[in-house]
Amino acid sequence: MAFQRVGILSIGEMGYHWARLLAGHGVEVLTYTKGRSDVTRRRADNAGARSVPSLARLVSESELVVSIVVPSAAKRVAAKVAKALLKAGRRDFLYLDANATSPMTAREIERHLSPSSANFVDGCIIGGAAKIGKGAVVYVSGPQAARLLALEESGLSVKVLGPEIAQASAFKIVYAGLTKGLQGLLVELLVGARKLGLLDEILQQYDKSFPGLVEKVGPSIAGLALHAARRAEEMDELKRTFRHYGLTAVMAPASEKLLKKIASLNAGEASDTGERKGDILETLELFFQRGLLQEK
Ligand SMILES: NC(=O)c1ccc[n+]([C@@H]2O[C@H](COP(=O)([O-])OP(=O)(O)OC[C@H]3O[C@@H](n4cnc5c(N)ncnc54)[C@H](OP(=O)(O)O)[C@@H]3O)[C@@H](O)[C@H]2O)c1
């Protein structure tokens, strides 16, 4: 049976598109915005989400709470939800962490939630925010993961990866290494081509050698103006995952370093509606003009 009331923490770009889709299917979306930025509050209003005055109210009224924040906030948010659940005395509650985190972070979230009555589902989202309901997939894992299939009645595409917590996190973090790695490699080389006066020529040759690659990665490069810091956090999670399993990641730290340099340009401005601005060429030019990769 479809969920009637879903809590979303928080209404960022991805949260906005979830909220709009769910609301469009008759689901009441709740959120809690204390301590959040003005743009997140405005996005919550624009998405039709009802802001409640406390986390205790959010967990009391929602059948499911979904955490869609930034990787570095995922544990903190879960710990606060666990505290609110104990306060509210809520039973049979579902909590989905949909952030791109390491398997170790997923297990820590499970530990945070275990004193409460939460049924924790580990999850991740593959596909851009604007593709929610149009091809993006929510992968889930854990003993209660199949309960999330009810979201399909509200327009989301959900796939159960398996019965173990951390399967979905592991899957996403390895996937994220490819997308962020491609973004980083292309940004670096295309900034170099711009400097050498060969941008159009190299783009044509890339397209000849790897048809569709730049076109496919382009929109996520435009998204870097705003999301580089969060994506750098994902590469930190990937690096730590490899270390935890006795492997040395070489590419992930390099992607992380470049993403941090992009984040330090402060080149993006979040929109009230979760829409992205710009294309790959405008974004590369902006990065170039702001001195990305230029030796001092
Ligand atoms: N965007 C995509 O296309 C995409 C695709 C796949 C997966 N994802 C996943 O979706 C998640 C969110 O990404 P996004 O692009 O939506 O990021 P975003 O636009 O930066 O939004 C993040 C949201 O989390 C809020 N937040 C930050 N710290 C918080 C905290 N401690 N407690 C509560 N809320 C907090 C932010 O509020 P403030 O405004 O107050 O900072 C903002 O509303 C990430 O884990 C990412 O891996 C996103």
Work out the pLDDT band at 117, boundaries 50, 70, 90: confident
108 occurs within a structural domain: yes
Using a 6 Å cutoff on CB, does residue 273 contact ligand 1? Answer: no
Tell me, yes or no, whether 128 and 193 share the same domain: no
Q: Which among 8, 70, 140, 171 is the best mutation to test ligand 1's pocket, defined by most ligand atoms within 8 Å of the CB?
A: 70
Q: Tens digit of pLDDT for each residue in 69-113?
A: 999 999 999 999 999 999 998 888 999 999 999 999 999 999 999
295 occurs within a structural domain: no
What domain count does the chain have?
2
Tell me, yes or no, whether 83 and 178 share the same domain: no
pLDDT at 104: 98
Sheet of strand 28-31, all strands in order from the earlier edge strand to the far edge: 50-51, 28-31, 5-9, 64-67, 93-97, 118-126, 137-141, 157-162
Tell me, yes or no, whether 137 and 61 share the same domain: yes
Tell me, yes or no, whether 198 and 67 share the same domain: no
Q: Which among 8, 10, 109 is the best mutation to test ligand 1's pocket, defined by most ligand atoms within 8 Å of the CB?
A: 10
246 occurs within a structural domain: yes
Domain of residue 54: give its range.
5-163
pLDDT at 168: 98
Indicate the residue among 134, 163, 192 that finishes a domain: 163
Tell me, yes or no, whether 156 and 206 share the same domain: no
Indicate the residue among 163, 197, 228 that finishes a domain: 163
Q: Is the pLDDT of residue 296 over 90?
A: no
Using a 6 Å cutoff on CB, does residue 59 contact ligand 1? Answer: no
Tell me, yes or no, whether 19 and 89 share the same domain: yes
Q: Which conformational region is residue 166 in: left (phi greater than 0), alpha (psi within -120 to 50 degrees), or beta? A: left
Tell me, yes or no, whether 177 and 152 share the same domain: no
Q: Is the pLDDT of residue 8 over 90?
A: yes
For the CA of 36, the nearest atom of ligand 1: 40
Q: Which among 33, 41, 69 is the best mutation to test ligand 1's pocket, defined by most ligand atoms within 8 Å of the CB?
A: 69
Nearest to 175 by CA among 151, 152, 159: 159
Work out the pLDDT band at 182, boundaries 50, 70, 90: very high
pLDDT at 91: 83
**CATH number for the domain that contains residue 279:** 1.10.1040.10
Work out the pLDDT band at 275, boundaries 50, 70, 90: confident
Closest-CA residue, ligand 1 atom 48, reads: 14
294 occurs within a structural domain: no
Bridge partners for 137 per DSSP: 126, 157
Output DSSP code: residue 25.
T
**CATH number for the domain that contains residue 78:** 3.40.50.720
For the CA of 73, the nearest atom of ligand 1: 31
For the CA of 176, the nearest atom of ligand 1: 47
Give the mean pLDDT of 255-281. Answer: 93
Q: Are 1 and 25 in contact (CB under 8 A)?
A: no
Instruction: Mention every residue, 6+ apart, whose C-beta is less than 8 A from residue 158.
Output: 137, 138, 139, 140, 148, 149, 151, 152
Q: Tens digit of pLDDT for each residue in 20-49?
A: 999 999 999 999 999 999 999 999 999 999
Give the mean pLDDT of 196-220. Answer: 98
Tell me, yes or no, whether 188 and 279 share the same domain: yes
103 occurs within a structural domain: yes
Q: Is the pLDDT of residue 276 over 90?
A: no
Q: Which among 9, 16, 36 is the best mutation to test ligand 1's pocket, defined by most ligand atoms within 8 Å of the CB?
A: 36
Output DSSP code: residue 52.
P
Using a 6 Å cutoff on CB, does residue 105 contact ligand 1? Answer: no
Indicate the residue among 129, 163, 197 that finishes a domain: 163
Using a 6 Å cutoff on CB, does residue 78 contact ligand 1? Answer: no
Work out the pLDDT band at 1, boundaries 50, 70, 90: confident
Asked whether the CA dihedral 264, 267, 272, 273 is positive or negative, the reply is negative
Instruction: Mention every residue, 6+ apart, whose C-beta is less than 8 A from residue 54.
Output: 32, 34, 84
Tell me, yes or no, whether 83 and 215 share the same domain: no
Tell me, yes or no, whether 123 and 18 share the same domain: yes
Tell me, yes or no, whether 92 and 177 share the same domain: no
Tell me, yes or no, whether 109 and 87 share the same domain: yes
The DSSP-derived string for 110-148 is HHHHTTTTEEEEEEEEES-GGGTTTT-EEEEESTTGGGG
296 occurs within a structural domain: no
For the CA of 35, the nearest atom of ligand 1: 40
